[in-house]
């Protein structure tokens, strides 16, 4: 598995398994299958409602903790009577409890809404304490990302945003590279919109390489240094989505996709 090096020095697998919209009662089996397929990077969130199932799958796998890279995300759920920083610390502790872990490898602000400056101050504390090995954000557009970087001690290690062939975000990715922030793509398959899997350009590139459209899309991302979170509940698709490191899309392929 290829990895990317975050601005903390931590190495993150470039291909991760996401559990968004997988029902909690199906999540443990899906994550166990993903780990069996070779995934070592897992992505969940408070708002997904399935952190406990992810934790159960990790425990059932018997894999050493140091082999796994676990991400979860902070949701906006602050009690009016307490401070945002205190609520952030409490939410993080609840996530650890549900996951059954003593630390996460990456903790993200899920959305740039509310008092995310106070959230970030708390997350910097969690990073210094070693309970969040890296901290980052999700769904931050360039203006908010740069503002957060310029006015805080610790820059986000990752910005997880929607990137796919119909929403390529080339300028966003370039700015993140300049600022030392690792781009990570969610919805790489555009959630099936615009008939992505029947797209003639992607299908033609796949046929030339003996690969599926899904594999072309994932290769297009990782070859450009973009980490990716893909989801499936089918073991065969999980294996297919990892089988992307034995070919390369050409410059002509890249131009056609662009």
**Cα 240 → chain centroid:** 18
The span from the CA of 118 to the CA of 86, in Å, is 9
The span from the CA of 106 to the CA of 102, in Å, is 13
H or E element that contains 36: helix 24-37
CA dihedral sign, ordered 65, 66, 70, 76: positive
- Selection from 143, 140, 154, 172 nearest residue 7 by Cα: 154
Active-site entry in 39, 48, 107, 116: 48
The DSSP call for residue 250 is -
Structure tokens at 122: 């708390």
Backbone angles phi, psi at 134, to 5 degrees: -145, 150
Is-catalytic flag, 117? no
Q: Annotated catalytic sites, by residue?
A: 48
């Amino acid at each position: 598995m290829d990895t990317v090096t975050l601005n903390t020095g931590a190495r993150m697998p470039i291909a991760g398994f996401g559990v968004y919209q997988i029902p909690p009662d199906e999540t443990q089996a899906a994550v166990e299958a993903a780990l069996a397929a070779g995934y070592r990077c897992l992505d969940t969130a408070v708002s997904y409602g399935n952190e406990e199932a992810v934790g159960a799958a990790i425990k059932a796998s018997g894999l050493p903790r140091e082999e796994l890279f676990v991400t979860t995300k902070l949701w906006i759920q602050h009690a009016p009577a307490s401070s945002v920083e205190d609520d952030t610390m409490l939410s993080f502790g609840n996530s650890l409890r549900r996951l059954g872990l003593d630390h996460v490898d990456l903790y993200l602000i899920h959305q740039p809404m509310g008092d995310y400056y106070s959230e970030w101050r708390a997350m910097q504390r969690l990073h210094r304490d070693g309970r969040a090995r890296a901290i980052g954000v999700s769904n931050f557009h360039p203006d908010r990302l740069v503002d957060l970087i310029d006015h805080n001690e610790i820059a986000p290690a990752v910005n997880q945003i929607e990137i796919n062939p119909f929403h390529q975000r080339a300028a966003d990715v370039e700015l993140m590279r300049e600022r030392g922030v690792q781009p990570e793509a969610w919805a790489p398959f555009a959630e099936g919109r615009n008939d992505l899997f029947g797209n003639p350009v992607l299908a033609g590139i796949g046929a030339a390489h003996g690969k599926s459209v899904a594999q072309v899309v994932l290769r297009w991302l990782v070859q450009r240094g973009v980490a990716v979170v893909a989801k499936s509940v089918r073991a065969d698709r999980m294996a297919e989505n990892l089988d992307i490191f034995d070919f390369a899309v050409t410059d002509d392929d890249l131009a056609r996709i662009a």
